[in-house]
Amino acid sequence: MLAACATPAPAPAPVEPLSLYFDSGFEPRPVPADPKVLEASEAMRRYLAVDIAGQLRAQGDLHGLVAALKSNNARLKLDYDSATTRTAAEAFDLRAGNCLSLTVMTAALARELKIPVAFHRVLSDPLWTREGNTLFATGHVNILLGSPMPNDRFSPREARGVIIDFTPGADVRSQRSLEITEATITAMYMNNRAAESMRDGSVDQAYWWARGAIGHDPRFLEAVNTLGVIYSHRGHVAHAERAFRHVLAIESENVSALANLAGVLERAGRRPEAAALIARLRQVEPQPPFHFFDLGMAALKAKDYAAARDHFLRELRRNAYYHEAHFALAAAYVGLGDGDAARRHVATALETSTNRDAQNIYSAKLAWLRAHTTQ
């Protein structure tokens, strides 16, 4: 199961999990270390300076750009194309791309105009497609142009800027999402290219794209899952198992990793182990985004700190790097009188946050905890 258009235990992943790589098992392929996903081209700059210059002057940069993106005129008529992931410049030249391609194109144009940009991963059930024996899980990203949010878990109803979403029929008002970094966007792009290479039968190329994705953002666990699928396809069972277990060590209820590992073990003749994983998979009931986080917040409000702790820990099993869950868990530990655990989770919240305002809050809270709790 590969993550296509997207879409990370208290301890962060290693900076780069070198033990997961098996370079000698694949032919070298020319994959760029930096694919320059967000780089604007001269054609894009000319479009802003000439083609829509009057519109930008009349409506202002933000609203003029948004109007241009929404229009169907000959200057920028965009087509949604889910088959191929492109860089910003490629999507602009072809006037087509999937949600990630069109999102990075929008970001590159906005940055040329000095408009603030924030990327968001939409929290929703993935769209599953099948090609041959491979399942593809397609997630979703969009972009907020304009004023940044004070935190990165929000409903679009709260947005102070303008949300641009290219998925046909997307209901942005009902979405909840997480802000993600530019490094994650690059990792998503490279992971998509890996999935697309697998789809096209270019397994060696897929390996180097997936490896590059992990290098850009080791916390983007979908890329590690993709790497495991690539190993499985080539028959490198031990390496596939290592990749899937790496994901499960961080997110113990990661459905893709559980299913993929069960399949690898079954094909290797390790049926009892596979059966145990399948039984475990059946116990993982699908829950809406933030289900356990919301339960934890309700428990915190009721001062039921033990229940809050348990709910936040459960949330982190599925979204290990969600900084607000770490911060809320720290609050639960304060209520339980465990200052050491509280400090650890505030420190993790500070490390994993992608929002400057949140980082300032967590830094101040961590300093307070260090001064007022027992070491």
pLDDT band per the 50, 70, 90 thresholds, residue 77 = low
For residue 310 the two structure tokens come to 């348990």
For residue 137 the two structure tokens come to 């899980």
How far apart, in Å, are the Cα atoms of 187 and each of 193, 246, 263?
A: 10, 17, 26
Three-state DSSP state, 22: coil
Is 2-257's fold the same as 291-372's?
A: yes
Ordered strands of the 177-180 beta sheet:
153-154, 177-180, 117-122, 141-145, 162-164
The residues facing 145 across adjacent strands are 117, 162
pLDDT in tens, 2-61: 544 443 333 444 445 678 999 999 999 989 999 999 999 999 999 999 999 999 999 999
How far apart, in Å, are the Cα atoms of 108 and each of 39, 76, 375?
A: 6, 15, 46
Q: What is the pLDDT of residue 202?
A: 95
pLDDT in tens, 188-200: 999 999 999 998 9
Q: Are strands 134-138 and 162-164 parallel, antiparallel or unpaired?
A: unpaired
Q: What is the pLDDT of residue 7?
A: 39
pLDDT in tens, 258-304: 989 999 999 999 999 999 999 998 888 667 667 899 899 999 999 99
Reported CATH class of domain 291-372: mainly alpha
Three-state DSSP state, 299: helix
pTM given for the model = 0.79
Q: What is the pLDDT of residue 134?
A: 60
Where are the domains positioned within the chain? 2-257, 291-372
Q: What is the pLDDT of residue 138?
A: 67
Specify the CATH number of the domain 2-257. 1.25.40.10
Q: What is the pLDDT of residue 253?
A: 87
- Percent of the chain at pLDDT above 70? 80
Distance CA 88, CA 97 (A): 9
pLDDT in tens, 247-267: 999 999 888 899 899 999 999
Q: Which residue has the higher pLDDT, 139 or 101?
A: 101
CB 298 within 8 A of CB 279: no
Question: How many other C-beta atoms lie within 10 A of the C-beta of residue 210?
Answer: 33
Q: What is the pLDDT of residue 159?
A: 47
Q: What is the pLDDT of residue 4?
A: 45
8 HSE (CA, 13 A, CB side): 29
Q: Check whether 72 has a pLDDT greater than 70.
A: no
In 3D space, the residue among 343, 350, 295, 358 whose CA is nearest the CA of residue 321 turns out to be: 350
